[in-house]
Structure 1
Amino acid sequence: MSYVTPADFTRTMIDAGEAKVFMATRDTLIRAYMAGAILALAAAFAVTVTVQTGQPLVGAILFPVGFCLLYLMGFDLLTGVFTLVPLALLDRRPGVTLGGVLRNWTLVFFGNFAGALTVAVMMAIIFTFGFTEAPNEVGKRLGSIGEGRTLGYAAHGAAGMLTLFIRGVLCNWMVSTGVVAAMMSTSVPGKVIAMWMPIMVFFYMGFEHSIVNMFLFPSGLMLGGHFTFVDYMLWNELPTVVGNLVGGLTFVGLTLYATHARTAPKRQAPAPALHAGIAAE
């Protein structure tokens, strides 16, 4: 059967986290760059579909194609390593240190950002004919997204920051579920179907994904969005990164690790004599 049991895919999660800690710097950066670029292309595709059809659900249904492609090609997103890499540290794998975990996260962050930024520049050129005319309808939508999801949060102050953080938590709860779901099957169709569902949920619900935002907001700045780079970092990217870390590690990584890799002692069945005594009463 192609189905992998939770106990088995949890071990795969830990093994994957360990492998990422010891991956060469060059390989980590290349894989992260490609992951950021492919996800950015998927985001541009989803926004284009949404604008042209007027149906956000259609964009959400189609967006997971990018996530599935990058996963099957072995590329790394920050949201995924937030969940997988710490498990190798918790499992006390030889040579895995906190420094190694932080190194992986840092490299993947900058690799993802570089890949997403590359696509943001390319799409901005397409939407403006090389910056020679005003953005087309898709370009205008990208500008408004960046403005609404920075200044929109800032207008609510602390409540806006809390909302942003919670959206980041919920996002990586779903995205990391997609990462893990791909390990539940040994077949490509099984992996794709399992990944598709939670990724579609996060995108349609408007949760905050740090790597998708690495494309949306820089492209928004290039396409006339009325917000600044500081607005983007303070009122979206950095709180989203923290929310993504908490959501993926807490609700996916640690729960699976605790219940399938480091399970609590099983309860003992009542002694036969106790059963007999209860029956006699």
Structure 2
Amino acid sequence: MANEENFDAYKPERIASLVESAGVRKAQLPLLNMFVLAVLAGVFIGFGGAAYTAVMSGVDATFGPARLLGGVVFSLGLILVIVGGAELFTGNALMVMAAVDKKISLRRLLRSWTVVYIGNLGGAAGLALAFGHSGILDGPLEATAETIVQGKTTLEPMEAFIRGALCNALVCLAIWLSFSARTVAGKVLAILWPISIFVLLGLEHSVANMYFFPQGWLAGADVTVGEAAANLVLVTLGNVVGGAGGVALAYRYAFLADPTR
């Protein structure tokens, strides 16, 4: 019976404590370690983005079963981050729980977000550069890579912001659910559906876009740096609001707040 209990999912109250403790550990990482893990996360999300590009080549990239399959293969990125171990900016929005409870300082939180964001950008863009010089983006993938980024630059500012918020709510929920699992298989299944659904719905993930824009440029997309930067700023702000506010603060209030205050 004791062995069976070891495979039971953690209760939400326990998940909240685990997520908050993880936020404290993340904030205390040495800068070099944090940066290396952030670069790895950018690469991992980039692999998911490359797989998505391959799946969507030659099919209707708007909606439908192909888009869902694209979401399934894109999930590889977060699976590698969670199971392999890496620092992802969007997931680190959950660190707000520890900051609100004064277990880490605002300075530590912002330091972590800044270092991880830069590392994610370096890893994602570096992988796109590698793919661009590998010949993999030639042919059908080239056209798909162009279409992906051109679609992102047509979004209105409010659309990009809201899609970013909704996206990171699902990403942080995927991470939250992964904390409930005690096995690798459980973590993979917890991650799979929230990530697949955000891709299916066409939501916006800042770190994924750090890969998609360089990939698009290497494929010959007529998108300016200014257009890419505008998208990244709006999507990043949305990601912070959706993850930190929509998930972290909501669960912190539900499970960690002192009801006597």
User: Shared topology, TM-score over 0.5?
Assistant: yes
Partner residue, 1:15: 21
Counterpart of 1:63, as a letter, is F
2:176 matches 1:180: yes
Q: Distance in 2 between matches of 1:81 and 1:28?
A: 12
CA contact (8 A) 2:36 2:119 kept: yes
Q: Deviations over 1:178-229 (max 9, x none)?
A: 1111001111111111111101111111100000000001111121111111
- Preserved contact between residue 89 and residue 117 of structure 2 (Cα < 8 Å): yes
Residue 43 of structure 1: how far off its partner (Å):
0.9
Q: 5 Å matches for 1:3-82?
A: 3-52=9-58, 55-82=66-93
* Matched positions, count: 250
Task: Name the residue aligned to 2:63.
Answer: none
Identity of aligned residues (%): 28
Q: In 2, are the aligned partners of 1:36 and 1:116 still within 8 Å (CA)? A: yes
Alpha-carbon offset, residue 15 of structure 1: 0.4
Cα distance in 2 for residues equivalent to 1:199 and 1:148? 20
Q: 1:128 to 1:177 in 2, by over 3 A?
A: closer
Question: Is the contact made by 1:113 and 1:214 (CA closer than 8 Å) also made in structure 2?
Answer: yes
Aligned pair partner of 2:101 in 87, 91, 94: 91
178, 187, 206: which one pairs with 2:202? 206
- CA 1:50–1:262: 2 relative to 1, 3 Å: same
Q: Is the 8 Å Cα contact of residues 46 and 62 (structure 1) preserved in structure 2?
A: yes
Larger radius of gyration: 1
Gaps of 5+ in 2: 61-65
TM-score (norm 2): 0.91
Instruction: For 1:259 and 1:36, locate their aligned partners in 2 and report how far apart those are by CA, in whole Å.
Output: 32
**Structure 1's 37 and 110: CA in aligned 2 closer, same or farther, altered over 3 A?**
same
- What is the root-mean-square deviation of aligned Cα atoms in Å? 1.6
Q: CA deviation at 1:66?
A: 2.2
Q: Would you say the 8 A contact 1:127–1:138 is kept in 2?
A: no
CA deviations on 1:235-270 (whole Å, 9 max, x unpaired) are x101000000000011110111111111535xxxxx
TM-score (norm: length of structure 1): 0.85
The 2-side partners of 1:57 and 1:178 are apart by 16
Contact 2:47-2:76 within 8 A present in 1 as well: no
Q: Is the 8 A contact 2:170 2:194 kept in 1?
A: yes
Which contiguous aligned blocks of 4+ residues in structure 1 show a shift greater than 2 angstroms?
52-57, 126-129
